[in-house]
Amino acid sequence: MKSLIIYFSILLVSNINAQTKEITLEDIWSTGKFKNNTINGLLSMKDGIHYSTMKNDTVFRFSYEKSSIPEVIICKSKLLVNGENIGIDNYKFSADEKKILIASNTENIYRRSTRENYYVYDINTKSIMPVTSGEKQMHATFSPDGNKVAFVRSNNIFIKDIASSAETQVTSDGLQNNIINGASDWVHEEEFGFSIAYYWSPDSKKIAYYKFDERKVKEFSFDEFNNKLYPTAYKFKYPKAGEDNSIVTIHLYDVLTASDKLIDIGTNTDQYIPRVKWTADANTLSLVRMNRKQNNLNLLLANASNGETKIIYSETSNTYIDINATGSEYVYFTEDNKNFIIMNEKDGFNHLYLYDMKGGLLNQITKGDWDVVNFNGIDENKKTVFYTASENTATEKDIYSIQLDGKGKKKISVEKGTHKPEFSSGMKYYINTFSTANTPNLIAIYNAEGQQIRILENNKALIKNMQLFDLSKKELFLFKTKDNVELNAWMIKPLNFDTTKKHPVFLVFYGGPGRNMVNNSFDGKDYFWHQSLAQKGYIIMCVDNRGTMYRGESFKKCTYKKLGNLEVADQIEAAKYLSNLSYVDKNRIGTFGWSYGGYLSSLCITKGANYFKLAIAVAPVTNWRYYDNIYTERFMSTPQENKDGYDNNSPINFVNELKGKYLLIHGSADDNVHYQNSMEMISALVKANKQFDLFIYPDKNHGVSGGNTRLHLYTKMTNFILGNL
| Residue range 262-274, pLDDT digits in tens | 999 999 999 999 9
Specify whether the CB–CB gap between 43 and 73 falls below 8 A. Answer: no
Cα–Cα dist 590/265, whole Å: 50
Q: Strand pairing partners for 120?
A: 101, 129
Least confident of 76-85, 195-204, 519-528, 531-540: 76-85
Going by C-alpha positions, the residue among 505, 509, 510, 508 that lies closest to residue 534 is: 505
**pLDDT, mean of residues 520-545:** 97
Q: What's the burial of 514, exposed, middle or buried (CB within 10 Å: 0-12/13-18/19+)?
A: middle
Sign of CA dihedral 665, 667, 673, 675: positive
Residue 677: partners with Cβ closer than 8 Å, 6 or more residues away: 619, 620, 621, 622, 623, 626, 666
The pLDDT of residue 14: 46
Q: What's the burial of 241, exposed, middle or buried (CB within 10 Å: 0-12/13-18/19+)?
A: buried
> Which strands make up the sheet holding 661-667, listed edge to edge?
474-480, 486-492, 539-544, 503-508, 584-594, 614-618, 661-667, 693-697
Domains and CATH numbers, the chain: 1-33+369-436+439-472 (no CATH), 37-162 (2.120.10.30), 170-333 (2.140.10.30), 481-724 (3.40.50.1820)
Cα–Cα dist 440/420, whole Å: 13
Flag whether pLDDT at 169 surpasses 80.
yes
Query: How many CA atoms lie within 13 Å of 450's alpha carbon, on the beta-carbon side?
Result: 16
Specify whether the CB–CB gap between 299 and 285 falls below 8 A. Answer: no
Cα–Cα dist 569/608, whole Å: 8
Specify whether the CB–CB gap between 383 and 403 falls below 8 A. Answer: yes
Query: At 83, is the pLDDT very low, low, confident or very high (cuts 50, 70, 90)?
Result: confident
Flag whether pLDDT at 9 surpasses 80.
no
Flag whether pLDDT at 564 surpasses 60.
yes
Cα–Cα dist 184/195, whole Å: 5
Q: Strand pairing partners for 455?
A: 444
Flag whether pLDDT at 20 surpasses 80.
no
Residue 601 phi, psi (nearest 5)? -60, -40
The pLDDT of residue 324: 85
pLDDT tens string 396-417? 999 999 999 999 999 999 999 9
Element of type H or E holding 689: none
Name the 3-class secondary structure at 571.
helix
Element of type H or E holding 338: none
Q: What is the mean pLDDT of the chain?
A: 95
Query: At 237, is the pLDDT very low, low, confident or very high (cuts 50, 70, 90)?
Result: very high
Flag whether pLDDT at 13 surpasses 50.
no
Q: Which residue blocks in 23-160 are alpha helix, DSSP H? A: 25-29
- A 10 A CB-CB count for 166 gives 10
Strands 661-667 and 693-697 come out as parallel
The pLDDT of residue 68: 81
Residue 109: partners with Cβ closer than 8 Å, 6 or more residues away: 115, 138
Element of type H or E holding 466: helix 460-466
Report CA-CA distances (Å) from 544 to 327, 362, 464, 548, 600: 22, 36, 31, 6, 12
The pLDDT of residue 628: 98
Phi-psi region of 41 (alpha: psi -120 to 50; beta: other; left: phi over 0): left
**pLDDT, mean of residues 210-223:** 97
Element of type H or E holding 705: none
**pLDDT, mean of residues 667-690:** 98
The pLDDT of residue 4: 56
69 vs 187: which has the higher pLDDT: 187
**pLDDT, mean of residues 139-146:** 98
Residue 9: partners with Cβ closer than 8 Å, 6 or more residues away: none
Least confident of 63-67, 503-507, 528-532, 549-553: 63-67
The pLDDT of residue 275: 96
Specify whether the CB–CB gap between 682 and 650 falls below 8 A. Answer: no
Query: At 328, is the pLDDT very low, low, confident or very high (cuts 50, 70, 90)?
Result: low
DSSP annotation string for 403-452: ETTS---EE---SSSEEEEEEPTTSSEEEEEEEETTEEEEEEEEETTS-E
Cα–Cα dist 408/423, whole Å: 20
Cα angle 124, 125, 129; round to 5: 115
% of the chain surpassing 90 pLDDT: 92
Residue 304: partners with Cβ closer than 8 Å, 6 or more residues away: 201, 206, 208, 252, 282, 283, 284, 285
For the chain, report the end-to-end CA distance as a whole number of angstroms: 44
**pLDDT, mean of residues 691-716:** 97
Strands (E), 437-530: 439-447, 452-457, 474-480, 486-492, 503-508
The pLDDT of residue 145: 97
Report CA-CA distances (Å) from 452 to 348, 382, 412, 520: 35, 21, 11, 21
